[in-house]
Amino acid sequence: MMVYYGWVKKGVDPNTIYPILKEALKKMPDEHPFRGPEEFKKDNYAYKNKWEGDVERYSGEEEILEGSDLVYKANYMGGLVDQRK
């Protein structure tokens, strides 16, 4: 299970940010399946992701910068769900 909350900077068109985010999320590392990779760059955008923990319990934060301007940020957390009866 994962929960997350993020925002796009006021005045920035989300339609320019979400394609970068979607592309980064497609590059999620198998060994750390927490959103996207540590870094992904495309054109003038840089996606950065940092996390703590493992698949049982983790938390992290991701951001997208346009040049040096922070235009997107999200925090997330999650882990395995106890399904014992």
Residue 70: per-residue pLDDT? 98
Going from the C-alpha of 80 to that of each of 34, 55, 83, the distances in angstroms are 12, 7, 9
Q: Domain for residue 84, yes or no?
A: no
- Kindly give the confidence (pLDDT) of every residue in the chain, 85 residues in length, as a single tens digit, with 9 standing for 90 and above: 999 999 999 999 999 999 999 999 999 998 888 899 999 999 999 999 999 999 899 999 999 999 999 999 999 999 998 877 7
Q: Domain for residue 67, yes or no?
A: yes
Q: Domain for residue 82, yes or no?
A: no
> Residue 25 corresponds to which tokens in the numbers above?
């999320």
Q: Domain for residue 49, yes or no?
A: yes
Domain count, the chain: 1
In a 3-state reduction of DSSP, which class is residue 20? helix
Q: Domain for residue 80, yes or no?
A: no
The domain containing residue 69 runs over which residues?
Answer: 2-74
Q: How far apart are CA 81 and CA 45, in angstroms?
A: 34
Residue 13: per-residue pLDDT? 97
